[in-house]
Amino acid sequence: MKKQLLKKYAELLVKIGVNLQKGQELTVYASIDQKPLVLEIVKWGYKVGAKKVIVEWDCQELSKLHYKYRSIKTLSKMEKWEVEKLKHRVEVLPARLYIVSDDPNGMKGINQKKVSLSRKAIYSVTKPYIDQIENKEQWCIAGASSEKWAKKVFPDLSSKKAKEALWDAIFKTSRVYGDPIDNWKKHNENLMKKCKYLNSLKLKELHYTSSNGTDFTVGLIPEARFIGGCERTISSKVIFNPNIPSEEIFTSPKKGLAEGVVVSAKPLSYQGELIENFSLKFHKGKVVEVHAEKNEDLLKEMINMDESSSYLGEVALIAYDSPINNTGILFYETLYDENASCHLALGMGFTNVIDNYEKYSKEELNNLGINDSIIHTDFMIGSKDLSIVGITENKEKIQIFKDGNWAF
C-alpha cells in the first residue's frame, strides 16, 4: 500500500466525505490498528482549517471482553461524562468520520441477548440527543484494510498480501485512483441524474421479482423522493457524502406497506457475526416470518429490537453491474456489499427524503410513513436476474430494473 494513495484517500474523506469547514471540529472514530490512516486524516483536517480534531479509538477485542464480563446493568448505564459528550455534540455539531475495519466475525461467541438489551437501554438515553442532531451535521463512513478483515476476504493469501489486496479494492471502489476529488464530483452528478428521472415518475409502488424466490411489493410515500450520493445539512447547507464508497439511489418506503418475500443475495454482518442465506416474509409492512441457514436466532433478535425494527426504513437501487460487484469480491462488510447490488434496510428511515422535510416535526415525518427505530440494518437482495417494476399513481407500469441492472 503506497503512502501517497493513503494521503489521497485521507484528503478525499476530509474534503468530499465530511466536507470539513474552516473553524469546524472533526471527530474521527477508528480502530487502534489504523494509526497511519488516522494520522493522515488528522493532518488534512488541520490543513483545511479544523478548529480541533478529536480521535476516538476503538478495539473490537476489548469490546468483546466488556460484553463477556460486564453485567447487563453495567453495560446499560451511560456515565455522566458520556452524556456530556452528547451534549457537546449537539451544541458544536462536529463533522464525524467513521473508519470501519473490524473482523466480520470478531464478536462471534458473545451473548447477543446481552448486546441487544444493553443497546436498547443506551438508546433510550441517546435518542433525544440524536433527534436534535439529525440532518444538521456532516458525517461519513469509510473503510480501511485490517489484517483479520483482509484474511476473511482473501483467505488464500498471506496476511500481508491479503491486506494489500483489500486496500487495493478499497481504493478502487472509493475512486481514489486518478483524481479522487474530480471522480466524486462526476459520480455525484451521475447519481443526481438518475434521481431526477425516478422522481419525475411519481411512483407509488415497487414490485421486485427474482428466480431466487424474491416476490415482493413495497409502497412509497407520495411526499418522498429518491436521493443518492451527496447530501446537504439543514443548519449550514454544507454538502457531504455520508458513504464512501456509494453507488446507491434510495428512499424510505411507507411504513406498513410491504407484502411478499425477499431472499438475501449476500451474507449480513450484524453485531460482529454473519447471518447467511436468509429470507424475510412481509405482511402489512411487517416481517412476519424469517428463515436463515446460519444465525437465524440472531436474525430474529434483530427484528425484535423494538416495535418498529421489523418494518422497513429504506429501499435502495444499485445496478448488479456496479463497480463494487464487478470486483468479484464479497467484502463481508455492509458498507461495501450493500453498494454491490440492490438492498433494503430494516428499522429507521431517513427523514431527509421528504420534500421540505425541515418544515415538519419529527412526529409529522413519522406520521407520513417514515419508520423510527433503534436499528438501521441493510441487507442485500440484488441478483443477476432481478426485475423491479414501478407502479405510478395512474397505475402505469414502468420497468426500473431488468436483469439486475437499470432499465433506462
- In this structure, what CATH number is given to the domain that contains residue 17? 3.40.1830.10
Instruction: Give domain status of residue 182, yes or no.
Output: no
Q: Is 218 helix (H, G, I), strand (E, B) or coil?
A: strand
Asked whether residue 407 is assigned to any structural domain, the reply reads no
In sequence order, which ranges of 60-179 are alpha helices (DSSP H)? 60-69, 72-75, 80-92, 112-133, 147-153, 159-173
CB 292 within 8 A of CB 280: no
Number of helices followed by number of strands (H, E) in the chain: 12, 21
Q: How big is the CA angle at 148 (ends 142 and 161), to the nearest 5 degrees?
A: 90
For residue 43, the 8-state DSSP code is H
Query: Do 164 and 226 sit in the same domain of this protein?
Result: no
Same domain? 146 vs 221 = no
Q: What is the DSSP letter of 311?
A: B
Residues 157 and 260 in one domain: no
Q: Are residues 206 and 167 in the same domain?
A: no
Strand 249-251 to 253-263 pairing: unpaired
Q: How far apart are CA 28 and CA 53, in angstroms?
A: 7
| Residue 213 shares a structural domain with residue 129 | no
Same domain, 213 and 114: no
Cα separation, 306 vs 204, in Å, equals 27
Residues 92 and 217 in one domain: no
Same domain as 383, residue 339:
yes
The DSSP element (H or E) to which 387 belongs, if any, is strand 387-392
Contact 191, 229 (CB under 8 A): yes
User: Residue 188: inside a domain, yes or no?
Assistant: no
In a domain, 308, yes or no: yes
Contact 165/150 with Cβ under 8 angstroms?
yes
Pair 294, 355 in one domain: yes
Per-residue pLDDT of the chain (408 residues; tens, 9 = 90+): 689 999 999 999 999 999 999 999 999 999 999 999 999 999 999 999 999 999 999 999 999 999 999 999 999 999 999 999 999 999 999 999 999 999 999 999 999 999 999 999 999 999 999 999 999 999 999 999 999 999 999 999 999 999 999 999 999 999 999 999 999 999 999 999 999 999 999 999 999 999 999 999 999 999 999 999 999 999 889 999 999 999 999 999 999 999 999 999 999 989 889 999 999 999 999 999 999 999 999 999 999 999 999 999 999 999 999 999 999 999 999 999 999 999 999 999 999 999 999 999 999 999 999 999 999 999 999 999 999 999 999 999 999 999 999 999
137 & 40 share domain:
yes
**d(Cα 195, Cα 139) in Å, to the nearest integer?**
21
DSSP state of 265: S
**Is the pTM of the predicted complex or chain greater than 0.85?**
yes
If one counts the domains in the chain, the total is 2
291-305 CB burial, b ≥16 within 10 A, e <16: ebeebeebbebbbeb
Tell me if 184 is assigned to some domain: no
Per the domain annotation, does 14 fall within a domain?
yes
Q: Is residue 196 part of a domain?
A: no
Measured from the Cβ of residue 112, the count of other Cβ atoms closer than 10 Å reads: 19
Q: Is 338 inside any structural domain?
A: yes
How is residue 174 written as a grid cell? 472509493
- The predicted structure's pLDDT at residue 272: 87
Same domain, 217 and 105: no
Last residue of a domain, one of 173, 188, 218: 173
Question: So what's the pLDDT on residue 1?
Answer: 65
Q: Is there a single domain that holds both residue 165 and residue 298?
A: no
Distances (CA, A) of 206 to 210, 216, 277: 13, 8, 23
First to last CA, the chain: 38
Domain, as residue range, for 113: 3-173
